[in-house]
Amino acid sequence: MSLSVDQQSAGNVAQAEEAFLFADDLPTALSAGNERALRPWRVLITDDDEEVHRATTYALRGVEVDGRPLELLHASSASEAVALLQVEKDIAVGMLDVVMETPDAGLRLVETIRNELGLRSMRIVLRTGQPGYAPELDVIRRYDINDYRTKSELTQTRLITTLTAGLRAYEQLELVRAANRGMETVARASNEIFRLRSTQEFSRVLLQCLAELLGRDMDAVVCLEKSSAEAQRDHGLYIESAAGRYVAMQGCAAEKALDVEMLRAIRRCTAARSCVFEPGRFAMWLGCGSRDAVVVVDLEQPLHEIEHRLVEMFASSLAVGFENVDLIERLDFFAFFDPLTHLPNRTRFIADVDQDLFSRQGGTRCLAIADIVRFSEVNDALGHRCGDSLLVAVSKRLRVALGTGVTLSRIAADSFGIYGPENAVDPESVRKAFELPFFVHGHALAIQMRMGLVQVSQCKGNAVELLRNANLALTQARRADGGSFCEFSVMMSEDVQTRVSMLHNLRAAIDFKRGLSVHYQPLVNAASGEVLGVEALLRWRNDFGEMVPPLRFIPLAERTGMINELGLWVLEQALDRLAAWHRQGHRQLGIAINISPVQLRSEDFVPKVRRIIEYCDVPPAQICFEFTEAVGLEDPVLLAARLGALRELGIRLGIDDFGTGHSSLRQLIGLATDVVKIDPTYIEQIAHSAEERALAASVVELARSRCPRVVAEGVETAEQAQALLAMGCELMQGFHFGRPMAADQFDAWLRGNRQG
């Protein structure tokens, strides 16, 4: 059958046959120089005339366009063409007859292709045997048609020329569409990647987006260098994520898992620090200043130029994304891990414990804090580098001793947090693990660990509460020598709460002068009965009306520094009262005031004392500052300076509670005191025990050999007073002569003792 249609004109047949006769003389490979093995162009021939199909196939036999062969698909009707287009993909050109089932079947098929099937890139060439049926210009304007020809016009040369133009137009449209789709993919992927916070997520999403960008499944690997935190333990690239045939290698070292050619490609990419395209694969370098990252993709077919450019663009975006993820990981590491030991820090430890408590709802778990006994001595003696090395070694030995089922962290300088099953957090195992010395920088160091433990089942609260209780237990363990351990009890917490409450109330008492008072206890000459002076004693009645013993609140005030304010207030009150007694005629009275070693450390202590003495206008010689023997433990240079400055003011100095063992005789001699007060413990039994009398006599004799005035404190009975007089100690203070009294009570007592 010829190319003519309804009228079957002989001229048309002859013209078509003439064209076919010379087909071999035409250029059949328009771009045969292209060496790439590309997929064939797919062309749809739709016509209800079987002869047209055969003639077209014959005319296009062996033809290549831009180095790609043709693959012809055939349909004999519009409906058959629609069914075929719904199944077959990548049809570049459709050559459609206008008149088939209906006079406008071809035109309706064009509308279906564009609007219903959405094939916008496919090029359409309309062919008709009735030139006057539809105006050529009107058809092209109304429909997206590449060309419109009568069948008599389509000689072989024109057929190939028209088909080539359509195929190239299709390729350009597909490239533009691919570029737009690729740009959208790159933009969407970049936005998603910038929200990622870990290299694991980054690698997984990277491969997904790259497969979407190229529109194919891939055999690929993402190789990363260890982070700065991990690199100290393990060097080289490892496979963070993989796709296709490389999935089984995920998590392995690249050097061990990949073949030689793949490793060479990675090294070339790393050296070039850019994308490298090679036959059968391409590699993308995504490294940043601190780490290398390389993506390698195997290719079954070469990339198109547009894909090539999209990959390079995507690589630039990925490089910035990887740098962002690397920065976030490093920030997370320094936020949640200890850079020295690489253990979780306090913040991460608390989060992990809270998470476990939430998931387990209690259970047989234990939290402990362990610290190194006398670690500061190692730092001071051998330096911080040695101390750091010791901490790393200790962390490793603890890890081995506790096992993998226990969470270990470094929560402070030399303190480690431990959390896990009760039977795994075992102090005895830790003790045994530290029996052998550590060899650090040429030194053999014998190290012991202290531990404070708290059972989760015995304590309510979150990780912070558990840590607080474990720290209370550790504080208790520190009071014992060596590597001891202590388990938390409720009494520890109650004791701490009591002290905190007391400190709060004491702070309020100081600020508002509420409940504080100064009482006075007389100092007498037991031989003559003369009242020589008084000792000023601080008393505190809290807001509940309870008298708080000085032995409970004075040490707390010293530890918090509040003793400085309290001491100056007592000094003002005492000297003001002494001035009043002198005005009343009791000029023989002196006053003794207790001074804490903490006050002596204050630089402005002596100037403030001078101002108070001048303001109250009392003779400094009638003032005695009393210190416990513990003052001898202070810095000797500072102590000598402060005591010397007080002596220059004319103030007398005294040792209180002498004989309690806080200082040696040499320290006592060095203080050059004016008064020594014998501790009451030597007085209690002297009336009933010859041994106690002998001991008290020796202490009195020792004190009299160094100081002109010796006072016996705590004298409560006449028998004790007589025994002391027999020893030659006449100055006494105690309940036998008078209890500590408020100022007005002492005034009344003083009037009743006129001999004073």
Residue 69 dihedral angles phi and psi, to the nearest 5°: -75, 175
C-alpha Rg value of the chain to the nearest Å: 50
| Spatial CA neighbour of 41 closest among 74, 75, 64 | 64
pTM equals 0.57
| Spatial CA neighbour of 566 closest among 601, 543, 540, 535 | 540
In whole angstroms, give the CA distance from residue 170 to residue 708.
Answer: 119
In a shared domain, residues 355 and 317: no
Six-digit token string for 275: 């994308």
Residue 632 dihedral angles phi and psi, to the nearest 5°: -70, -15
Is 498 inside a domain boundary?
Answer: no
In a shared domain, residues 691 and 716: yes
Q: What is the mean pLDDT of the chain?
A: 84
| Spatial CA neighbour of 742 closest among 541, 544, 542, 526 | 541
pLDDT on residue 720? 92
pLDDT on residue 30? 34
What does each C-alpha distance from 715 to 237, 428, 678, 690 come to in angstroms? Answer: 83, 51, 11, 17
In a shared domain, residues 405 and 554: no
| Residue where a domain terminates, one of 144, 178, 212 | 178
For 74-106, how does the pLDDT look when each residue is reduced to its tens digit (9 = 90+)?
999 999 999 999 999 889 999 999 888 888 888
In a shared domain, residues 239 and 114: no
Residue appearing with tokens 């991990």: 230
Check if the beta carbon of residue 78 is closer than 8 Å to that of residue 110: no
Is the pLDDT assigned to residue 176 strictly greater than 50? yes
641-646: which pairs have CB atoms within 8 A and are 24 or more residues apart?
642/600, 642/605, 642/606, 643/600, 643/671, 645/606, 646/606, 646/609
For 316-357, how does the pLDDT look when each residue is reduced to its tens digit (9 = 90+)?
888 888 888 888 888 888 899 999 999 999 999 999 999 998
Six-digit token string for 682: 């030597």
In a shared domain, residues 172 and 217: no
What are the residues whose beta carbons fall under 8 Å from the beta carbon of 132, sequence distance 6 or more? none
Is the pLDDT assigned to residue 607 strictly greater than 70? yes
Is 128 inside a domain boundary?
Answer: yes
In a shared domain, residues 313 and 263: yes
The total number of structural domains in the chain stands at 4
Check if the beta carbon of residue 282 is closer than 8 Å to that of residue 311: yes
pLDDT on residue 196? 76
Is 5 inside a domain boundary?
Answer: no
Is 188 inside a domain boundary?
Answer: no
- Can you give the CATH number for the domain in which 70 is found? 3.40.50.2300
For 194-246, how does the pLDDT look when each residue is reduced to its tens digit (9 = 90+)?
777 788 888 888 898 888 888 888 899 999 987 655 544 455 788 999 999 99
For 112-123, how does the pLDDT look when each residue is reduced to its tens digit (9 = 90+)?
998 899 898 899
In a shared domain, residues 740 and 598: yes
Structural domain of residue 358, as residue ranges?
346-488
Check if the beta carbon of residue 467 is closer than 8 Å to that of residue 504: no
- Can you give the CATH number for the domain in which 361 is found? 3.30.70.270
pLDDT greater at residue 151 or residue 517: 517
Is the pLDDT assigned to residue 620 strictly greater than 70? yes
In a shared domain, residues 297 and 391: no
In a shared domain, residues 566 and 464: no
What does each C-alpha distance from 124 to 88, 108, 169, 455 come to in angstroms? Answer: 16, 13, 11, 81
Q: Maximum CA pair distance of the chain?
A: 164
Six-digit token string for 527: 């031989």
H helical segments located in 117-273: 136-142, 156-193, 199-214, 254-257, 260-272
